Structure formats: C-alpha cells, structure tokens
Chain A
Amino acid sequence: MRRRIQAPLLFALLTLAAWQAIVTVANIPEYLLPAPSAIFANIDRTLAVQLAVTFVEAVIGFLIASTLAFGCAIMFVRFHTLEEGLFPIAIAVKTTPIVAVAPLLVIWLGTGWWSKIVAVILICFFPVLVNAVKGLKAADAEYRELFQTLGASRAQEFRKLRIPFCLPYLFSALKISSSLAIVGAIVGEFVGATQGLGYLIMVSSAHLETATLFAAIAAAALAGIILFYLIGWTEQRVIFWHSGNME
C-alpha cells in the first residue's frame, strides 16, 4: 500500500522540480508558463471557495442525474415500449454537444446554480442510463427461470435479482459520469456565472493571469479525482461480492 503511493509521489515531485528548473533557467515569462512555485502561491481561500462551488454544483447534478437515469432504466426494462420509444430521444440528447446547449440554459435558468446543475444533469444522464439498462438485463435467463419457479413477482425479480446484478454496471457508469460532472459544471460556468472554477478560468485567462489559470485547472482536476475516488470507495463496500473486488 505504501509503495503504491510512494512511487507516483516521487515521480510527481521530480516532474515539478524539473519544471521549476526549466522555467528558471530558460527565463520563461510567467504569462506563458508559470513556475510551480508561482502556481502554488495562487492556492488561497478564494480558490478553495471556487472549487467548493464547482464541486457542489457537480455533485448535486450528478446525484440528480444518476437517480433519474436509474429510475428511467428500470422503467425501460420493465416496459419495453418505453425503451423503444424513448431511447432514440435519449441518444439525440446525448449527441447534442453540451457546449451548444449551455447558453440556452443560462437564458432559461439565469447565471445562478441551476443552469450549471442542469448542464451537469444533461451530461451525466446518458452513460448511467445506458449502463443501467444493460445491467438490469445482465442476470442470466436461468436466474429469471429460477425466480419464476419460486413464484416471484416482477417487483421481487427487480428487487432481489435485477437491481443487485445491475450494481457493478451502475458503478462503472457512475465513475465515467463523475468526471463528466465536473466538465458539465465548468462549461455551465464558462457561459455565464459569477463564481466557480469555470468563472475563475475565464477571468484569469482574459487577464493573462496564467498562474491563477493553472491553479484553477489543477483544482478542477482535484475535484474530479475526489469524486472518482469517493465512488470507488463506495463501490468496494456495496459490491464486495463482485469478482473485481474479491480479496
């Protein structure tokens, strides 16, 4: 476990040291490529607040999208007609670039929280839907025959068989959409916002404050990593029985 942390940490430190040395020796101007020391100087309370704003937007949107998508997946699998009728629409929504829709969201929902949360929902919904539908159909036909011979109702078949079988699929979808959630929130903030990492990136790039820009980018990456590992941590506890997680 310690080795697993030590090696990457060592390489990261070496990279940073090399970066610092090159910038100093080659005398690269800060607006082109700031030295790590200049970037670290920009880590302050303001950055933490902006990070928190973006993170909260992403998490709320992510939770709403995941719940909606899972509910839809259950309806799709339960009522096949719904799947046939609505899946093409879901694909249409998915293939529309979020960047193209974001300005519309700001017109409708203003520059506050909701335009960002809806952007996150739009971007997170589809991967969860597709994987959950696949997962809900993942139990072998023989398992369903077993439940039939035991006289299980449709609801019991979902509760005791299909939904637990779906969890590994659901969690891989949640991992994918967790990184997308940060993208959605930042895109929403690009278009119209008064706070958040996207806002900070827009403002600092307009002012050529490249060190702040780098700090914001690093913070965005950190937000994605935190969300990803939170889900991974939950996954290991919820689906301990899955082959990928067995000791």
Chain B
Amino acid sequence: MNAIALATRLEATPLSRPEPLIAIEGLQVRFDNVVAIEDLSFAVGRGEFISLLGPSGCGKSTLLKAIARLVPLARGRIVLRDPNLRIGFMFQKPLLLPWRTALDNALLPVEIQLGGSVVDPTDQSRAHRMLEMVGLADFARAYPHQLSGGMQQRVALARALMSDPDILLLDEPFGALDELTREVLNEELIRIWQSKDTRLHTVMMVTHSIPEAVTMSDRVIVLTDRPARLVEDVSVDCPRPRTPDDPDAVSVMKRIRSMVRGRR
C-alpha cells in the first residue's frame, strides 16, 4: 500500500459520519416461522467499509440478500439513498460459468445489462483492466477449471466490479480459501476499495473472523445469534494500513470478543 492512497482515503472519510447510502430501519426477515433477522436498524455511509460479524448461520447472509432484494422483508424497510444505486454481490463460491473464459465470465454483467450479446471493445478493455486489477492479466483466456480456487474467486471479484457497483456486498467472499490466500485477497480487496479506478467506494462484508473484521473495516456491526439483532455498532478508528498485531486493533478485537462472549 502506498502513502498517497492512504492520505486520499483519510481525506475522503472525515470523522463525522458520512452521508448514508443505505438506511436499514426496523428490519425483520422471516422464513415461514423462523425469524432470521429481528428489529435491525443501522445506516451504511458512503465510502465506508463495514463488516457484519456474528456466529455462523445467524442471518448475516440473509441481511445481504435482503439488501440485494433476493429475499422479501417481513417488516421494516431498506432505504436506498439513490433508487438507481448499483449493488454488486459476491458469494462465498466463485459461481463462474465453466464454459466461459475468465474474460467472458467478467463480461457477464455487461452482456446481461445490454440484453443482446454484443459487447463493444470498450467493455472488453474494461474487463481486461478489471482482471489486471485482481492480478489475473495473464489469465484472461483461461477457463475456470484451469484456475485455482483463489484465482477463481479473483475472477468473481472482477466480475462483481464489472457491474460497476456503488456498493459491493460480500458474503464471506474468501471463506472457502486457505488462510494465506485469504489474507492476500483481503489486502487486495482493501486496495481496490481505496483505488479511484472504480465507482466502488462502499463495501459491506459478512465475516465470522474478528481479526479480519477489525483489520479491514471502518465499522463492525456485531450481531447476535439467530434471530440476528444488533449487539453493537463498533467504529474502528485505527490508522490504515493495519495489521492484526497493531495495539489499537488488538484492543478493539478484545472489546468485540468480550461482547460476543458476553452474549452467551
């Protein structure tokens, strides 16, 4: 990470809360008789990196799906600042189409937006740039089965960026990968979030790793076990770039850990 990127990043997030991009108000989501999310309210500010932290199966993924309108709301509402807000979604699995090359997989959102299958050279070169951004410049012509799990997830990230989202929702995006690959990809995600090459300035990520949440996020939304309720909305004010060993970060991790433990 370079110092200039860090400086611009700090400028872009003043200490006061940024304008809200998404406001979640009194949200309840239920599947038949099971309540997945109960009375949840918080706002997502423009430019923020937010982590949703909670035990497995607590309804974090459901919250992302509710924002992406993949599941219906039982009560409450999700207000988008701009009705044309573009939402990108990245799943735990890469979900690449095995008959398409990395480049063609990245182009899928564009093809779908165009309706027809004609993709112009501008989009082609943009897809190349996105693959470059995720470190796969040399693998544009490779098929998914020729790529490792980490590389496949990079292609999925490039594809999510190709839909040119204002906000990216990440559902444990690197959860299925090994620890080392996961750390590298987390760092690259931060780099892409901070770069000015995309419209993407806001990220919301589901995780159940406290160190991951604290080292990456501006705010950590701590949730209870199912149904998901808000425990606390923790601001992480440590300077970037961070490592899991920074004393400030460690103290925030401790605080969150005691919060999570205290609930049991």
Contact = CB atoms under 8 A, between A and B. Distances in A.
B112 A156 contact: yes
Interface stretch (A28-36, A129-137, A185-193, A237-245): A237-245
Interface residues of A, number: 21
Contact of B65 (A145, A160, A239): A145
Given A160-B111, A160-B112, A150 B163 contact: yes
Contacts of A146: 89, 91, 95
B89 to A, nearest CB: 4
Contacts of B111: 160
Contacts of A19: none
A145 B87 CA distance: 13
B163 A241 contact: no
A158 interface: no
Contact of A147 (B112, B115, B143): B112
Interface in B99-122: 99, 108-109, 111-113, 115
A56 to B, nearest CB: 32
A152 interface: yes
B170 to A, nearest CB: 12
A164 B99 CA distance: 8
Contacts of A147: 112
A164 B97 contact: yes
A246 interface: yes
Given A145-B91, A149-B70, A150-B109, A241 B65 contact: no
A161 interface: yes
Interface in A146-190: 146-153, 156, 160-161, 164
B6 interface: no
Say whether chain A's binding surface is mostly helix, strand, loop, or mixed: helix
Interface string B72-107: 000000000000000111010101011100000000
A150 B108 contact: yes
Nearest to B99: A241
B141 interface: no
Contacts of A151: 112-113
A149 B89 contact: yes
A140 B96 CA distance: 12
A84 interface: no
A149 B99 contact: no
Contacts of B98: 241-242
A145 B143 contact: no
A229 interface: no
Given A151-B113, A164-B99, A241-B98, A142 B108 contact: no
B145 A246 contact: yes
Contacts of A239: 99
B123 to A, nearest CB: 14
A40 interface: no
B68 interface: yes
A109 B68 CA distance: 57
A169 B32 CA distance: 34
B244 to A, nearest CB: 30
Contacts of A160: 97, 108, 111-112
Interface in A97-112: none
A140 B97 CA distance: 11
Contacts of B112: 147, 150-152, 156, 160
Given A148-B70, A150-B108, A150-B163, A161 B97 contact: yes
Contacts of B144: 241
B93 A142 contact: yes
Contacts of B143: 241
A149 B67 CA distance: 10
A145 B145 contact: no
Nearest to B162: A150
Given A150-B108, A160-B108, A143 B145 contact: no
Given A145-B89, A150-B113, 4 more contacts: A149-B68, A160-B108, A241-B99, A242-B98
30 contacts: A140-B93, A142-B93, A142-B95, A143-B95, A145-B70, A145-B89, A145-B91, A146-B89, A146-B91, A147-B112, A148-B70, A149-B89, A150-B109, A150-B112, A151-B112, A151-B113, A152-B112, A156-B112, A156-B115, A160-B97, A160-B112, A164-B97, A164-B99, A239-B99, A241-B98, A241-B99, A241-B144, A241-B145, A242-B98, A246-B145
List of 9 A-B pairs having minimum Cβ-Cβ separation, nearest first: A149-B89, A241-B98, A241-B99, A152-B112, A150-B112, A146-B95, A150-B109, A149-B68, A164-B99
